Amino acid sequence: MRIVPLEAGHADALLAFFRSLPDADRTFIKEEVTDPGTVRAMAAAAAGADRGRRWAALADDATSITGYVAVLPLAGWSDHVGEIRLVVAPTSRGTGLGRRLARHALVQAVEAGLTKLIVEVVADQGPALALFTGLGFSGEALLQDQIRDRDGRLRDLMVLAHHVSDTWSRMDSVGMTDAVAESTG
C-alpha cells in the first residue's frame, strides 16, 4: 500500500472506492461521493494547494483505492485552520491504514503552514475518536443532534482540534517529530 497525491487519473478508482462503502459510512461524508462529477472535481482539484490537498492509499495492485484523506483549509479569517477528512475501506480498518493516512495529513498540513487542524467525528465512533486523540487532537465542541443519518436518527457530532504549536513543540522537545515524519513516508 502506498499513499500518493490524488490526481485526475484516480477519479474512476476513487468513485469505485466511495461507491463500495456501506451507506452508513457515506452518510457522514460531506460531499456527494457517489456522483461521478463530484468525484472527478475532487480528483482534478487535488493538486490545487489553495483548495487543499488530497491523498489516496493505493492497494498493492496500484489500481484500487483503500483509503482517502484530505486537508482542506478554511477560508477568510480561519485560513490558518485545516479540516481533515478521512475515509478507510471497511476491509482495511484495524490495519493501521487510518492512522497512517491521518499522520500523513498531519505532517503535510504542518508543512503547508497550517497552525490548527480540526476533524469532525460522529460522537459514537469510538475507533475514530481514539485514532485522532492518539495523534494529539482533543475535544473542542460537542454539537448535539447535528447530523441526521440515513435512517433519520439525529446524531451528535464532535469537533476535535489539534493545535500544532502546542503538540509539535512538545514532540520536538523529545525528538518525536522526525519519527512521525519518517513513519508517513
Greatest CA span in the chain, whole angstroms?
48
pLDDT at 52: 66
Q: What is the pLDDT of residue 80?
A: 94
Contact 70, 85 (CB under 8 A): yes
For the record, the C-alpha cell of 138 comes out as 482533543
Find out whether 155 and 123 touch, Cβ atoms under 8 Å. yes
- The pLDDT assigned to 174 comes to 47
Mean pLDDT (10-residue bins), the chain, 185 residues: 90 94 86 91 69 84 90 92 94 94 93 94 92 94 92 94 75 53 52
Q: Which residues pair with 121 in a beta bridge?
A: 158
Q: Which residue's entry shows cell 491504514?
A: 97
pTM of structure: 0.84
Q: Supply the pLDDT for residue 93.
A: 92
